[in-house]
Amino acid sequence: MVSVDRSYHVRPASAADLPAVLEILAESRAERPREAARAMGGGPSDRQEAAWERVLATTDLIVYLAETETGAAGTASMMLMPHVTYDCRPTAFIEAVIVKYAHRRRGVATLLLQQALKDARAASCRKVQLLSHKRHASDGAHDLYRAMGFMPEAEGFRLYLVP
């Protein structure tokens, strides 16, 4: 497993963190982004701000922010879904585990996942699901997920609903 640089810490994102989260999301590719700063487009749009307000108001949805004294480094999201199956224990879904290129290979994703798993256990989740694109099989992400105890035991399907 990757060694963890303890100068990073993870906390739930707040209303003021939208620009930092968007900046991280702009670097969501495995390769070094050429124009990540320009992808921000001068700040959050009205649509992004409205979506962020909805995210923050959604019960059982947590957006994590990993940061160091120099600023935001990574993010991940976790949603808890209640069940009447699994002895009425919820399932946690982790998505959008993204670390800024300059902070990769320092244990930031490990810290994000450790916090999400700690919170999932505290919520008595029966299982945690994490979906990762096949393109991440060669960039170390899948190795990290396996090292954290995740098993590739199911096949996922997506349907993009285009307006």
2-16: average pLDDT: 87
Gyration radius from the chain CA atoms: 16
Q: What is the pTM of this model?
A: 0.88
Query: Is 24 within 8 Å of 72 (Cβ atoms)?
Result: yes
Span 17-65, pLDDT tens digits: 999 999 999 887 655 555 444 455 578 889 999 999 999 999 999 999 9
Homologous superfamily of the 9-147 domain (CATH): Gcn5-related N-acetyltransferase (GNAT) (3.40.630.30)
Instruction: Map out the domains of the chain as residue ranges.
Output: 9-147
Span 89-121, pLDDT tens digits: 999 999 999 999 999 999 999 999 999 999 999
Is the model's pLDDT at 78 over the cut of 60?
A: yes
- Tell me the CA distances in angstroms from 136 to 18, 140, 144, one per residue in order: 25, 7, 10
